[in-house]
Amino acid sequence: MPNGSLAEWLHPNENTYMDSPIKSLSLVERLSIAVDVARALDYLHYHGPTPIVHCDLKPSNILLDDDMTAHVGDFGLARFLAPPDTLPSQSLTTTSGIKGSIGYIPPEYGMGGRPSIEGDMYSYGILLLEMFTGVSPTDERLRDGVSLHKHVEMAFPEQVGDIIDSKLFSTTNVEANTYASENVFDCLVSVIQCGLWCSKESLKDRISIKDAIKQLNSAWTKLLSS
């Protein structure tokens, strides 16, 4: 893809060459990418002939085209969720080795849980939190057993501004002065809340991608309201 992967934009020092220009995504661009990925998951989970679970959702698997539209790639670990009696050759016994990527794997997978739509939602929630905080779930700053979810949860909602990626409002980013600060804060709270809801430890407590899209649309409304 012309604009590479989301990982290159979120962590340019780790994913670009020394002579490459420093990349930065604005608030609007990140929110737009979040919605693009959510719509892709909605299609995979609910709008195909058989539900599909991606199983490896992370920034390096989110590719950006000329218009910065996001596309979900790398389906090497993806699985169909067809009933075992209809697809015996692809039954859940073939998924026991799935590990995904460290930091984005839902807790139940580590305990032998089978791939599920709720598992994708956990990965999406972590992706959202990473996109808006700039902190990877494997970042060295996350110590003493504190996960990215817990790190964000401890600051939510009053100290959300303290954990947001500083590059969102860089001096070269005109958006910093385009929207009222209160609107920006309300938008960020909605997005972070969505990420926390998606990445809850218990799969039964996670929201669906349809509810996540509603929450992100609410964030858009708050950002653009006068």
Residue with tokens 């984005």: 104
86 has pLDDT over 50: yes
Comparing 21-25, 110-114, 125-129, which segment has the lowest mean pLDDT? 21-25
Query: Pick the catalytic residue: 36, 42, 56, 67?
Result: 56
pLDDT at 95: 46
Query: Is 42 a catalytic site residue?
Result: no
46-52 long-range contacts, CB within 8 A, separation 24+: 46/209, 46/210, 50/80, 50/81, 50/82, 51/80, 51/81, 51/117, 52/78, 52/79, 52/80, 52/81
19-26 long-range contacts, CB within 8 A, separation 24+: 24/167, 24/170, 24/172, 24/173, 25/131, 25/167, 25/168, 26/168, 26/173, 26/175
> Do 174 and 138 contact (CB within 8 A), yes or no?
no
**Domains defined along the chain, listed by start:** 6-15+22-82+104-224 (1.10.510.10)
> Which of 105, 4, 114 is CA-nearest to residue 56?
105
Distance in angstroms (rounded) separating the CA atoms of residues 77 and 143: 29
H helix or E strand, kind and range, residue 107: helix 107-110
> Which of 81-95, 126-140, 141-155 is the most confident on average?
126-140
pLDDT at 89: 46
Instruction: Read off the pTM.
Output: 0.89
> Do 41 and 94 contact (CB within 8 A), yes or no?
no
14 has pLDDT over 70: no
Across the strands, what pairs with 180? none
57 has pLDDT over 60: yes
Supply φ then ψ for residue 209, to 5 degrees: -65, -30
Comparing 11-20, 26-35, 43-52, which segment has the lowest mean pLDDT? 11-20
pLDDT at 24: 86
> Which of 34-38, 79-83, 141-145 is the most confident on average?
34-38
Express as a percent the part of the chain with pLDDT over 90.
Answer: 68
pLDDT at 169: 76
